[in-house]
Amino acid sequence: MRNIVNTHTGKIVSDTDLCLEYLYVGDYGKENNIKADFLGYTKRIDKVENKPVDITDKLVVTVSSQKGCPMNCNFCDCPKLGFHGNAGTIELVSEITTGIALSGIKHGERLNVHYARMGEPTFNPNVIKSAKIIFQIIKDSNADISFNTYHPVVSTMMPKSNKNLEKFLHDWVDTGFIYGGEDGFGLQFSINTLDEEERNKMFRNKSLSLQEISDIIKSLPMPKKRKYTLNFAVTSKCNLDVDLMNKYFNKDKCIVKITPIHETVEAVNEGYEIVKDFDVYEKFEQPLVKDGWDVIVFVPSKEEDADRITCGNSLIAIADKARK
């Protein structure tokens, strides 16, 4: 059964037969929800407004790379569904094209595809295959849909059990150089804190160590234009020490993105602090900026949180857990 839920700027599709969930949303506008001096956005974002946007300018489709998730991060709802295998190439392409179709957009300026709803994408080689196919579809002059810019993004928590992890990441980056233009394909690493003990709790000891992650990023080629992203979903007590950041990561190769831990069912049950005070973000941001790091602070609007479109949420997983 397929269930479609309306959000403020899009729709979420939960397919219980296929154990997949995906969504499309319009972009909320960087001037409303991003503080990043290097991008020219300096506005304090204590209150993030949900303003109407033209989704033909930027359409975001977020898809599940796996059916459920085997990683069991303690702030994420997706593992509640269990794990039922990888999404196939055709299923991934269908998630993306259905999301586009539901948006009603046939010809747009920019399409972002985030492999970040359910699952750890680096376990699934079909992710790379589907990214290539979507490129071919939207660039086909005879196709019904087209976008001037195409930017797929993989977000990974760097699982230590993935023996093909480094190969996947290199293949993703190399493919991005061919199909993604100057921007390449997006690559984001879930770091969250520079405290190893705290990271082990958050990722239930299933993520590589910071040093191991650092070594793999060092092995990746320099981005042509868009740097790799180090994601930090923070509480007020997280460790983003500048010296440690410099020890493990290269500011010429990576940017830092700071967000709250999103208000998922699991995060609330685990007692995570959902940061509401923007001063907390500035406490993390300013020392890094002064040291020369490019930093993005992204705080979702209350509508985004209420719609459960943010990372770590899964309507199908919550419903499945409730039935059991």
The most distant pair of C-alpha atoms in the chain lies apart, rounded to whole Å, by: 53
Q: Categorise residue 216: left if φ over 0, alpha if ψ from -120 to 50, beta otherwise.
A: alpha
Q: Is 63 helix (H, G, I), strand (E, B) or coil?
A: strand
pTM above 0.85, yes or no: yes
Q: What is the CATH number of the domain that holds 267?
A: 3.20.20.70
Q: Are strands 228-234 and 10-15 parallel, antiparallel or unpaired?
A: unpaired
Question: How far is residue 13's CA from residue 2's CA, in Å, rounded to a whole number?
Answer: 7
Strand partners of residue 111: 59, 150
**CA 264-266-271 angle, 5° bins:** 100
What domain range includes position 168? 2-323
- The per-residue pLDDT for 29 is 64
**Three-state DSSP state, 311:** coil
* Confidence at residue 315, expressed as pLDDT on a 0 to 100 scale: 87
Query: Into how many domains does the chain fold?
Result: 1
Coil, strand or helix: which one is 262? coil
Identify the burial level of 46 via C-beta atoms within 10 angstroms of its C-beta, where 0-12 means exposed, 13-18 middle and 19 or more buried.
Answer: exposed
Structure confidence at residue 34 (pLDDT): 85
What is the distance in angstroms between the CA of the first residue and the CA of the last residue of the chain?
A: 18
Helix (H, G, I), strand (E, B) or coil at 60: strand
If we measure between CA atoms, which residue out of 7, 46, 52, 47 comes closest to residue 29? 52
Mean per-residue pLDDT pooled into runs of 10, the chain (324 residues): 91 95 81 83 81 81 97 92 96 98 93 96 98 95 91 97 98 95 92 97 97 98 94 94 98 96 89 88 95 94 85 81 56
pLDDT score at 153: 97
pLDDT for res 305: 81
Predicted local distance difference test score (pLDDT) of residue 322: 58
